[in-house]
Structure 1
């Protein structure tokens, strides 16, 4: 049985804050809604300029990191390999980032901009064109740059610098050891609360759409009882998924999600106005690029209007509020990729798929509304966003089947959002530990379901959504600090000496892929070859009389300390180090062996880069010691 590794201050502190928030919306939903909405309106009106400027800066920083010299750095040791195949990785990015949003707003948002655009006459061909450009802007690279910045910071400091997978780790270059105190706890509590509230609100949208679809297509009464029943059923599936971990449940469901989404999209594309959609996609993308800089900085300063606060600023705040959850999940699945791979995958692939999705559903809906529907789709969107997708599908062949597929797709998105959210929260509440007792994952999964159900009962989804968006303001400042710390540390790594090109043999790498090592095996390897290698270097140093040297072996860690005359100390350590098991490893191993594999890691004090020396001989380890000693610099890479 696994021992709990929770951080009690974060775990119970976040639970208490969530309980207070839910209680306030349950006991006084009307009053809570007024307070949170008023505060949200004040934040957006007062700091809208900050949101616009910050999002533009985040995009520039992510592009500079991805396609500048830092792009070659790996999120992990320099010889690390990705934990997930590329397609599975993209599927999980897609499912965690915007799944339910695409289903809920794929038809609704373009039609809303078409009927009420900010700058042109509504209901015209010009309005249709502007509607798609606005939708692309809201769901494009700006949104994914926000996610990418948080995810990249966490993955970099966790897998490359050996810090815990928590939000506080990204602030290490700025706060140093203070991240382990109250400041760090507060940041992680903030991340957990934002994740719970954001996911609960998204789940509320998903439940509303599922029950609306069941009522619209099968005549089932869209009652509160049905909504609670749907939550219970879907959260039960999410609990089973989260218990199986990212390698099995979340990965498989994400792949199923992507397949179902592509099938539905292709059906709509080829049964609808196919040639028009292809042309529209090209023109939509061109208009998006043409307006890119202007829309990035538009605030309507000279002609103030409520539209900006209701749409663009609302979205920027929403993506920032969601970034702890999505960024943490992206980091969790991105070990072993280079920064350039990470940025290319996170920034462009999901955004490209979103552009295609919005064109297929949005342009088709507008085309039908202008033609055969004669305004009926726009009326459905205005009456109830939850039914917009199903009203749209009526104008395509096999409406009953496609509506059922759409309900199933929302359900799977529901599950993947819930289980990935629970996994992220459990990691945050446990100080970055990913090998925790099952009850902790179940606790957070159940809490997400209870939160969503409670808010539906109290009618408090609006209040919680406003509170979540309000939380985006302080987290915007946290993201600025994450960006500064990431750029500072990436530049420091680029200024360091290259890591040795020594690598394990082909046989050794195959063995490690399919027969993952335990900690005990790595400790035996350290004792058998690591300590003798360090002793050989020590003896050579002592024989020549160059410096005082010592070798120690304790708790499975071997260390070589070399004391120089000017009081500088070179310390080389061989450490057992764990990492998540690769996705393709056989899954019939015991639980403790299925979640982690162990490697022999070498590190020099003051340099957080780690080299994988698993399977190296005595001579090769001794050679690595000398190589590091030749390039050693006493100044620390990260100030303690």
Structure 2
């Protein structure tokens, strides 16, 4: 444990206090978190909206700017992973479990309860997917890509530790290595813990829901979810201990293969033509309405304001809370890419894939509810997907494969997080000790259990919204810092720094 930093001990102390509070007084913790959530949503919803939009604009600026040829590494560095593996790793870490949990449940929820207009109509169906794309599209991946780029630049171009505090050196100077830097890194650790713990909680509840569908004798309750958490914790700790190139890389590729199989099986077994038509028209309307949706607030309509807070603002906070985790991870696997290559790949490709995913899963559910009278919207968030499976051929096979995919997504998200938390608390070590990763793995699982025990999804939302708030200021400061360094380095060629102008001798011989 000699490699650990002060951030490790500070974070462990506060995380332990949170876990103990949740175990001793879960009801009281839940009440405190609910009041806190209400305060932040009502007082700072506008701030989350503007912040998410800022990161999207900044990402677009970097793509088209003169800084696009800067390489995330030295002139001789080449990408460590081939493109398919690289994409699989960043995608598994970035969205994983959420795609399966919300793939059906979010579009069908918006279909019956849209942010605008009457539910259950054809227009509501298009609006439901449009807003789902908003929540999982350009804004989310802009946050990830900007933070990942900054971390990769300082790690591989500047040869600095992979810490958020280090990226603020152009603004803070030596203070970035002192108390201020420790506070910044501790904020990143807590945002990572709560962001990932929420995903783990969602994964455990959906695995339980799927098992209950396949084997009705298996109850759908907290006890079973606790057992699932324990089993998967062992799996992801074992995976994390094998290292990045073995455990996480292999599982990420397995995730991608399984996800593609399920996606196209779902597409071809369901109403294929309807889904493709719906995808085409809603993708266009999403792009067309992106600015207004991304900045939409309803100060004169409390009901619609509540919808935006519960969905849009929650998602912006979730992606911001995940940014240190996902950003650190995709930075770690992106050595040798250029700024433009990195930004386009991380921003555009996952957005299109997410939109297609939700159109297939959500569009199929909407089809069965709109045209055939199914009651998928009456299911819980964790079981809506399995309700659609019941309406398709080979439903039992699909459920088994889906449960396997949820589990592997669970493992890759968690072991990626233990790796990142290990980096954040060992001075940016690219290969943190296994004992540190194991400790963080146990705390991630314990935090997820506490959130499930003290209020379920409501508690998870609160933890994310609160932990993301101070982090926003750090992330915005990071963008200002990298612009300052980019201003000193306008490459003549990819991977080369701008050569200083030769001084003219004022007294030539």
Mapped contact 2:29–2:454 kept (Cα < 8 A): no
The 3 A distance-change label for structure 1 pair 455 and 315 is closer
2:265 to 264, 267, 273: 267
Deviation at 1:40, TM superposition (A): 2.0
**Structure 2 length as normaliser, TM-score?**
0.94
Mapped contact 1:197–1:465 kept (Cα < 8 A): no
Alignment correspondent of 2:507: none
Mapped contact 2:235–2:411 kept (Cα < 8 A): yes
Alignment correspondent of 2:243: 245
Alignment correspondent of 1:277: 275
Tell me, in whole angstroms, the C-alpha distance in 1 between the residues paired with 2:71 and 2:495. Answer: 14
Mapped contact 1:264–1:406 kept (Cα < 8 A): yes
Alignment correspondent of 2:68: 71
1:132 equivalent to 2:120? Answer no
Deviation at 1:347, TM superposition (A): 0.4
Tell me, in whole angstroms, the C-alpha distance in 1 between the residues paired with 2:215 and 2:77. Answer: 51
Specify which structure has the higher proportion of helix. 2
Tell me, in whole angstroms, the C-alpha distance in 2 between the residues paired with 1:289 and 1:228. Answer: 41
The within-5 A match list for 1:54-453 is 54-219=51-216, 220-304=218-302, 305-372=305-372, 374-380=373-379, 384-453=380-449
Deviation at 1:371, TM superposition (A): 2.6
Instruction: Judge which range, 281-290 or 451-460, deviates more.
Output: 451-460
Any idea what SS the aligned residue of 2:168 has?
helix
Instruction: Judge which range, 213-222 or 9-18, deviates more.
Output: 213-222
Tell me, in whole angstroms, the C-alpha distance in 2 between the residues paired with 1:73 and 1:208. Answer: 43
Unaligned segments of structure 1, at least 5 residues: 502-608, 610-626, 634-640
The 3 A distance-change label for structure 1 pair 451 and 302 is closer
Tell me, in whole angstroms, the C-alpha distance in 1 between the residues paired with 2:503 and 2:360. Answer: 57
The 3 A distance-change label for structure 1 pair 376 and 483 is same
Runs of 4+ in 1 over 6 A off after TM superposition: 496-501, 627-630
The 3 A distance-change label for structure 1 pair 391 and 55 is same
Tell me, in whole angstroms, the C-alpha distance in 2 between the residues paired with 1:488 and 1:410. Answer: 42
Any idea what SS the aligned residue of 2:383 has?
helix
Alignment correspondent of 2:462: 466
Deviation at 1:224, TM superposition (A): 3.4
The 3 A distance-change label for structure 1 pair 500 and 423 is closer
Provide the aligned length of Structure 1 versus Structure 2: 501
Mapped contact 2:233–2:445 kept (Cα < 8 A): yes
The within-5 A match list for 1:621-636 is none
Tell me, in whole angstroms, the C-alpha distance in 2 between the residues paired with 1:629 and 1:74. Answer: 19
Tell me, in whole angstroms, the C-alpha distance in 2 between the residues paired with 1:470 and 1:632. Answer: 53
Deviation at 1:632, TM superposition (A): 9.2
The 3 A distance-change label for structure 1 pair 121 and 145 is same
Deviation at 1:129, TM superposition (A): 1.0
Tell me, in whole angstroms, the C-alpha distance in 2 between the residues paired with 1:334 and 1:376. Answer: 44
Deviation at 1:116, TM superposition (A): 0.5
Mapped contact 1:29–1:460 kept (Cα < 8 A): no
Alignment correspondent of 1:549: none
Specify which structure has the higher proportion of strand. 1
Tell me, in whole angstroms, the C-alpha distance in 2 between the residues paired with 1:426 and 1:165. Answer: 11
Alignment correspondent of 1:598: none
Any idea what SS the aligned residue of 1:71 has?
coil
**Structure 1 length as normaliser, TM-score?**
0.75
